[in-house]
Chains A and B, each alone.
Chain A
Amino acid sequence: MEIAVDKRQNCAILKIKGDVDLYSSPQARSQIIALVNNKQFNLLVDFTDVTYMDSSGVATLVEALQLTNKNKGKLRLYKLRQAIRDVFELSRLDKVFDIYEDEQSALHGI
């Protein structure tokens, strides 16, 4: 898994590439925590190249959501491929996270 971080407006965009699972999610977690510690409370996650996400990966997003909520920021996800969207819908996680079609709509209103 690789993560590239871009800054756009008042947001950090995390572009994740590869599988986010038990083995790679600690890396994602430490990058998210570093951003929040640097007072970056609006996080967008680009899922275009996320090939698989297990519940450890979801837990990392849950922690990011709790951290951003606590600091009155936003966590938004976009461009989820169908297989990942199905996993989210089956566990009702689509009701937990703000999910958008693309970067433009995710940035809107932040």
Chain B
Amino acid sequence: MNEIESLKKRIVDLTSLIEVSSIISSTLDLEELMNLVMEKAQTVMNAEASSVMLINEETGMLECQIALGSVQEKVKDTIQLELGQGIAGWVAQQGKAVIVPDVDNDTRFYSNIDHSTGFKTRSILAAPLKVKDRVIGVAEVINRRDSQPFSEDDLAIFITFCRQVALAIENARMHRFMLDQQRIQQQLESAHTIQQSFMPQSFPQAKDDNFLLHARNIPATAVGGDLFDFIEIDSNRLGMVIGDVSGKGIPAALYMARLISDLRYYSHIHERPMDLIRMMNSVLFERGRQGMFVTLIYFLLDRQSGELKITNGGHLPPLWFQHATKTCHVVNSSSGIPLGILPQIELSEQVIQLRSGDQLLLYTDGIIEAKNVRGKMFSLERLEDIFNQDWDHPQHLIEGIVKQIKKFSRNVSQHDDITLMAIKWQ
């Protein structure tokens, strides 16, 4: 090749590289992009066939993603190589490009592919696809049309091609990853909104202003396993419930969704708290999967008298502020075990009488187990201290507790769902 021809070829090569750059910036569709680039590579290298194999990160195998040439359908999606197997496997393992002028004289050559496709490979130019120092795959061009072996010039231009291809593959993968993340995030946001709608957005009002109610749920992740509900049994009786499903995230949220629906249904069939909780235990035990359970406490309020009937299934005991004595104490009733664990459980029903100015506070373990930067827990004692301040409205009490927890756990991510419910008898 004289000097002018050599320079002309160089111009064609460089023009192709510029064209490859514009292809790469034109699409984020990985398959389309690889096809376009390899078509270009094949033309420039004057080759009969080409392929791109990528390393499957789960299996560690090289898998053929793109194959161009007369037997492309037989190769694509069917060929798999171990690292170190064949020329491509060697390139992937060593991270080095290679010219194989005659495959019959190279022991690394894996002839099974030719046997299964009927294609005759004579020479190969193969280069690793590298992102920084990590090999993500191998690109090959096969058999120069002029039957000459690939040259060092071909190698140099092909390595530059491969650098751009690797970058483009990584960009397309990042783009796909970000789209997936966005989709998951959108789904979680929808799930959060839907789950919050299962719990009351407004709270029952007393007809003659004899009580005030408030509640709040703050999941640690988009969705959680804590729950609260108010159920109007009839004009004089109000059911109130707070619970905590084992585990976190989506499994706990789905369990919680079904639980709320069952509670609303069965609370009208089994009006006594003890009967309702026993029924819920049977339902949850029958349906139990992977040991999931719930701690649940149910109150039936007489809206006229302030009498509360309580049955507890393993939930943290409520706190009762008695206005007359200005004291706060734990309502340590004889609780049953959490629900959904054993087929039969022992339960009891406790009755307490709210008097003017009394408040009752229900909470989940995310409150008392909230941690500060030193790993210390918020504790029941701290909660009692806040509760003991004779709050004028349950909403102010709950906002006050949430504020104190946020202050206590500053710079620590919330590790468990938080739910609070309070009633004040006027």
Contacts and interface: CB of A to CB of B under 8 A. Distances in A.
Interface stretch (B39-47, B188-196, B337-345): B337-345
Interface of B: 244, 246-249, 288, 290-293, 295, 314-316, 335-338, 341-342, 416
Interface string A57-86: 011111111100000000000000000000
Given A29-B290, A92-B335, A93-B314, A62 B341 contact: yes
B342 A96 contact: yes
Contacts of B342: 96
Consensus secondary structure, chain A interface: helix
Consensus secondary structure, chain B interface: loop
B244 to A, nearest CB: 7
Nearest to A62: B291
A55 interface: yes
Contact of B246 (A55, A66, A90, A96): A55
Interface string A18-56: 000010000001000000000000000000000000111
B341 A96 contact: yes
Q: How many interface residues does chain A have, given as a range? A: 20 to 34
Interface of A: 22, 29, 54-56, 58-66, 90-93, 95-96
A55 B316 CA distance: 14
A93 B290 contact: no
Given A59-B293, A64-B291, 16 more contacts: A29-B290, A56-B247, A59-B291, A60-B291, A61-B291, A62-B293, A62-B341, A63-B290, A63-B291, A65-B341, A66-B341, A91-B295, A91-B316, A92-B314, A92-B338, A96-B338
Contacts of B249: 22
Most buried by A among B291, B292, B341: B291
Given A55-B246, A55-B247, A93-B337, A66 B291 contact: yes
7 contacts: A29-B290, A59-B246, A59-B247, A60-B291, A62-B341, A92-B336, A93-B314
